[in-house]
Amino acid sequence: MTARLVPASDAALEAAAQALSAAPVDSPGIRDHAWLHAEPAEALRRLQLARDHRIEHGGLAWVVLADEVAVGYISARIYDDGHRAETFSVVARANQGLGVGLEARRLVLEALAAAGVRSVVSLARPDSASAAISRKLGYELSGAETRAHPEGFRVELERYELQLKA
Ligand SMILES: CC(C)(COP(=O)(O)OP(=O)(O)OC[C@H]1O[C@@H](n2cnc3c(N)ncnc32)[C@H](O)[C@@H]1OP(=O)(O)O)[C@@H](O)C(=O)NCCC(=O)NCCS
């Protein structure tokens, strides 16, 4: 599997929305997210809103391709005068557990380092694929944060941080 990031254009987001809203895969290991329960049109609307919000506030957003097929979305919020970033990623259920999320995050770290970002944060549920990816990429656990989940409740998340080499 070869992962690649492309700018989150409307056409790329439309392909990602189709993948993210595809029927669930019956596997106990599959990680879930509110965005993975929407019809394609609603998934596209949420992706566009997220992308527009990111870009309007100086961040970056990409669609993740696996072997040239759109399977996910990854974004970086940039703050502290461009020195710090926080990433968020989601991969379609059918494509999880194959290394796409890890490779997408690695590619984003390269892009952020090239853009002058010095440290990166990722918030993850304990024992999640996202936390595992952070540890694999050398992030260190730096604390915990409570955030509002899109469905209304609050979630306890671990905060992982990585210092990037210039
Ligand atoms: C987080 C996410 C993007 C990871 O994508 P992915 O393509 O499935 O991840 P990978 O296949 O690259 O997995 C990387 C590592 O995570 C771990 N992992 C994978 N699936 C896991 C699971 N279900 N539970 C715990 N760890 C898991 C493994 O250690 C894996 O490495 P391995 O190859 O040695 O087994 C995906 O799980 C997802 O979309 N989750 C829902 C959205 C979300 O919660 N995003 C996180 C907020 S940033």
Contact 51, 35 (CB under 8 A): no
85: helix, strand or coil = strand
Q: Is any ligand 1 atom within 6 A of the Cβ of residue 129? A: yes
pLDDT digits over 68-127, tens only?
A: 999 999 999 999 888 999 999 999 999 999 999 999 999 999 999 999 999 999 999 999
Q: Which atom of ligand 1 is nearest to the CA of 123?
A: 48
Q: What are the extents of the domains in the chain?
A: 3-163
Cα 114 to chain centroid distance, Å, stands at 19
Q: Is any ligand 1 atom within 6 A of the Cβ of residue 40? A: no
Q: How far apart are CA 135 and CA 138, in angstroms?
A: 5
The reply to whether CATH 3.40.630.30 applies to domain 3-163 is: yes
pLDDT digits over 42-85, tens only?
A: 999 999 999 999 999 999 999 999 999 999 999 999 998 889 99
Q: Which pTM does this prediction carry?
A: 0.93
* DSSP single-letter state for residue 43: H
